[in-house]
Structure 1
Amino acid sequence: MYLWTRMDQENTIYGIRTVLEALQAGKAIDRIFIQKGLQGALARDLQALAKKEGVRTSVVPPERFARFRNKNHQGVAATVSPVSLMDYQALIDQVVARKENPLFLLLDGVSDVRNLGAIIRTAECTGADGVILPAQGSAPVTADTVKTSAGAVYRVPLARAGHLKDAVYYLQASGIQVVAASEKGSDSLFQTDLRQGTALVMGSEEKGVSATVLKIADHIVRLPMEGSIGSLNVSVACGVFLYETLRQRTAGQS
């Protein structure tokens, strides 16, 4: 529902041909909304291309388009990211080629746009080399994300992976250790060596890092907790992980 409410903002495009051409041009589209019952060759081409490119689609009833009767929507609308997202392989290759011990951040199921913006802001402040998001189940990069990030979305490279596990495998093959945050971890964050090339994986507050990613991560670490609540807001927890990494890497420096 929240994503639909964003459709009256400036980052929305309308019309089946417009959306199809945007996809073909490689524009950063977050989600496509298709009116239920829409038929025709162009509609089939649009759905096929969206599936190929890993762009999320939602089929919605015709009445949802009523508010856009002054737009030539033709039963199709799409939210477009204000920021271009890279291919995750290209991002990893570029960073690894120029930096000895890079730092990546992978977000698994972080669905709130403001949390996403706050996390990206902290990632920029702590020297992260890139943030990788899954194509499904991730908050879109919206105007609110840009605002909450204080413009950091324009400074930290953002990339998208069809499946986050693919990015994990590629990072490991590139010599990067993958450290997943989970209360199930046997080691404390503060016992984990983060000075080498590292990719931190943070999950949603509700579900945490997915079982698929936990299974293939190099390390599963927990954040020590003393209070009775037992969990932190994901952007706060992410900040602790990022700053512990920065602390280790700058220890001994004046």
Structure 2
Amino acid sequence: MNSRVVPRAVWPNQSLHHVLPSVRITSAKRRRMNYNDDDAYDESHNNHNSTNNGNSDKAEDIWNGIDSIFNRIMQNIKDNSYKDYPSLHRVVDYNDLSRNLSREELNAVLRGLNDDTPRNDLISIWNHVVRINRDGMVDIINSILLYVNNFVRNYKNGKLDVKEILEELKIDEKSLRLFKTSSLKEISSCDFKYYNDFYTLLNNEKKIEDIKDLINSYMKFADDTKKKIYHNYIKQFKESFEKYIEKKNNTPK
């Protein structure tokens, strides 16, 4: 049977018997049912001996068909769940340190941890947490540049030159590189503390929920630090900008 299970609508406008496999009695089945083709003319006589076996085979075929349909329904539900939630069927190899896990992948891994998770696996996962915490500075710098650009362009209907402002306030590749370095130092300032706490849990009959709580606390610290770094930069930019405008206005033309 070539029926296909349609997502969210199993065989629309059809009742179940329309999709059940048709039960055909083949010659081989007839022989298994003690049905003699030569005596076919005496149907009523043979009917008495074959009824029980025939009904049994028919019932078996029908149940096999129902099982097949049920299995396809379950597989279809599973396949569509995978489409909506890819992380359900994607195996995340967190022991592969040649690539960084995304935050989504890490969260999926954390949900699957239990007290039987091997020690080495937990160490690999911790290394990914450290990497994720130290990642994101490029996004922060891009957000800063976008903010500065929009701020300057919108100031007094765009009368200022963005390039000139960047040069005057020394917002360039060199300064942003130094900003990135100092920011990473700030983000990693508590690495040693969390590192010690992590290995203390590992060495003292770890409880997986305690390790998860530590990881979440560590990641929250990094996220909060990144937000603070961004807002502090914007605050300093505005202060420098106001000083530049004041100086510009006081300069004789």
* TM-score normalised by L of structure 2: 0.24
Q: Higher helix share goes to which structure?
A: 2
TM-score, length-scaled by structure 1 = 0.24
Q: Name the structure, 1 or 2, with higher relative contact order (CA <8 Å, separation 6+).
A: 1
